[in-house]
Amino acid sequence: MSKRNEQGYSILDTMMAGLILVVVLIPLVNLQPKIVNLTASAEKYNTAIFLAQGKIEEMKAMPYDRLSGELPRGENRFPFNGYENYIYTLKIDDEQYGLKTITVTVFYQEAGAERNISLIAERHR
């Protein structure tokens, strides 16, 4: 059997390992707020799409002849029930070839700016 001289790590080895660890962890810590902001942004975007799709489905479920002037539409903005930070406009283009085009635009605030998402569907007679 041979005897080995085991002295362990020197203070310089420990300091270098600590320095490498700090250099690697600082950018990761700085990414965390950006990740939180991106997650919040994605949540708002997905909610807007969900609300627009729901309004499109509501319009598609109506009788074809009711998709006319009696619905709230145009440049007026209307709130969603239960979603006070989201409003929408509804545009229904007149019949062409037996189709009416329904456009729902949802508006919401993100990072101090107004954002919007529009979905378009066609309804046949």
- Examine residue 70 and state whether it is found in any structural domain, yes or no: yes
User: 72 pLDDT exceeds 70?
Assistant: no
Compare 42 and 124 and report the one with higher pLDDT.
42
What pLDDT score was predicted for residue 103?
Answer: 92
Compare 73 and 96 and report the one with higher pLDDT.
96
What pLDDT score was predicted for residue 82?
Answer: 93
Residue corresponding to tokens 């954002």: 115
- Examine residue 73 and state whether it is found in any structural domain, yes or no: yes
Provide the residue count of the chain. 125
- Examine residue 91 and state whether it is found in any structural domain, yes or no: yes
C-beta of residue 71 within 8 angstroms of C-beta of residue 88: no
- Cα separations in angstroms, 69 against 52, 65, 75, 95, 113: 20, 10, 13, 13, 31
- Examine residue 120 and state whether it is found in any structural domain, yes or no: yes
- Examine residue 100 and state whether it is found in any structural domain, yes or no: yes
Q: What is the pLDDT of residues 76-93, one digit of tens each?
A: 889 999 999 999 999 888
Confidence tier at 64 by pLDDT (50, 70, 90): confident
Q: What is the CA radius of gyration of the chain?
A: 28
What pLDDT score was predicted for residue 92?
Answer: 87
- Examine residue 6 and state whether it is found in any structural domain, yes or no: no
Q: What is the pLDDT of residues 38-48, one digit of tens each?
A: 999 999 999 99
Q: Please tell me whether residue 114 adopts helix, strand or coil conformation.
A: strand
Domain range for 67: 11-124
C-beta of residue 91 within 8 angstroms of C-beta of residue 119: no
Strand (E) or helix (H) holding 110:
strand 99-110
- Examine residue 98 and state whether it is found in any structural domain, yes or no: yes
DSSP state, residue 66: G
Q: Which of 91, 40, 43 is nearest to 67 (CA)?
A: 91
Number of domains present in the structure of the chain? 1
Structure tokens at 44: 């708002």
Q: What is the pLDDT of residues 19-29, one digit of tens each?
A: 999 999 998 88
What pLDDT score was predicted for residue 71?
Answer: 61
